[in-house]
Structure 1
Amino acid sequence: MHVEPIRRYGLAIAIVCGSVAVRYLLGSIVTTLPFSACFVAVTLAARYCGPGPTVLAFVTSFLACDYLFMAPRGSVLTFTTVAEGVQVLVSAGIAGILGTLMHSVQASREILAIRESMLQSKTRVLHQLLRVQESEKQSIGHDIHDGVLQYVIGAKMMLDATLDRRGDPAGYGELKTAADSLERAIAEARNLIRGMRTAPLDDLGLRGAIEDLVEQCEIAGTEVGVAFADDIDDIPTELRVVIYRIAQELLANVRKHSGSTVARLSLLRDPEAIELVVEDEGRGFEATTVASSGFGLTGIRERAAMVMGECRVESAAGRGTRVRVRVPLDIDPQAATGHRGAAATRDGTNPDVARSLQRPR
């Protein structure tokens, strides 16, 4: 027999002994209800020990009460009528049922507490993962800017200097093609760095950073109408980063895939959550193709899930697309400010990331 069953059966016996002892000590005061100790023992055993120990508690407490408190004392099964015995059995059964119900309620509460603890642990891990992910993006962006991009820019400058010399050097056409290729590589690298960094978010706040994204979208030829809540920047750092990244991806989808020249973005807030909605009037797609569309919707859903949010997509071929992301505001305050796993600066940014942001660009 395992230790846990032994403990439960031992507790049931202890409950019986305690109940009978109390009834015995109060014998001069409580002259009626000889089986009261039995009812108490059964109720407590059912509450704390489970079904098997409850049966043991009933049998032992019943015999003890009959032996000690029923006349003639010192004998068992001394009921004068069958009805009297049935009454005791029914009463004990009711007590057992009540105790079992209480035991079930307590077990359910414990299960809920365990699930809540697991959910909180998962949330903390996801928040830490999000911080690490953003830190890695910042680091990669700086490495590209300070390493590869500088070599490419240097090569481009040398090619430009060669092309600016008088005369028509051999291979001029090839040099011009190489210079153009390097220029495109520089532009692509800078766009990549811009996508990795959250400098606009750090410098301008969430509203200003999204307005910067909208401006880029409009430069590319898509007019975007915007609507913001007044207190949109007063949210935890993790949420600001998540909303910014999702808005960045959604506006990129509008620009690259929708074929629409008009879009709308709204960022609203209520007491419980912050909601981002991006919709366009483009070509849209069938709902059955969302998972395989390649539009980054899976990544958007996963990013929202990191902060217990949800993402809903409404689209149909030829009828545009509407993406709604809703993220709750009541995330763990300590996780939100980065106190778990790493210290944080006043604005909630990881110190290593804050230092890296101060490096020359």
Structure 2
Amino acid sequence: MGYQKSTHDGLADEIFREHHRRLESASIALTRNAPVLGQLRRNVHAIVTDVAEQFDLPASAFDPSADVDGIDEVVDHALLPTEIGVDRALRNIHPIESLRAAALLFEVALPIILRRYVVTDPARVAAIALALHDAISRRVSLSSLAYVNYLIEKLQASRREERRRIARDLHDRLGHSIGLALQNLDLSRHYGTHDRPRADAKVGAAMHEMREALQTVQELTAELRRSFGADGIEPALRGYLSASVPATISTGLTVTGDVKVMPREVGEELYLILREAARNAVRHGEATELRITIVATEDAINAEVIDDGRGFDLIDAQTAGFGLRSMAERADLLNGRFTITSAPGSGTVVAVEVPLYGPEG
């Protein structure tokens, strides 16, 4: 909805300027992005207005010189906490940063309010402090809830895509094999009375297709059972390479650093990205060599899946069922970077960088 100037804009801007200065001194990441600063300013105005109106504090004039370069005009928004929570999730700004900012805001705002209105009565000081604390905490809680809800929805979307991928495999691979087997058995019955060699050939073909179907079932079952478990991503990937990659393909997994620092939910999504990249190399790439590398640092996990296969055209691959969109969406869920380097005849490199704790600058 539209914004109407508050009678307490002068007080709010004074608090915002000091809060901004303290955030920068404390190296809190919220000061590194102009849109985020704009949200902070709007939030301060909303909080100050709540407290001032609750205690009928006198109006304070708006100070035009208080505008900060690069920050949008204040716009009132009933869904501001939700907007902030979702935006922090998109920018990979952890809720701990919001909590730090909230604590600083209380430290900054209370003395300014008490000094501006010369509040000295202990009971009134305590009441204003409690109201300020509640106003800040309520907004932090709502934005944190929006942050979590957004990530849950993204995670659920990722899970839905994984189920769709399994359904596609069941339909395309298992259904195709069983369909061919039934067709060959029908032909075998047809030829059985007058052309025994052809009938036997069709039975053999049907048995081959059923073996293919059985292998598909075994692979999908193994994938469903194997995930990022308590032992972490390395054993899960080694198990996948051992069970699902043909012996004709040379494989390798190199892990550097402590990958166990990854939160479980990060490890699960990264595992699915790397597994999908490896599956593509096996099923589509005609690779003879497949290597996975993972490097863990204090700030991020960097991983690559490299194969020496036939490669592909990146534009054509977007619609070829290689799961590229799924991998990119999973990386996006983790606020990571996802890149593919490939060309016909030159192999493929799938690279993923996933931040661990550091907020976006």
TM-score by length of 1: 0.49
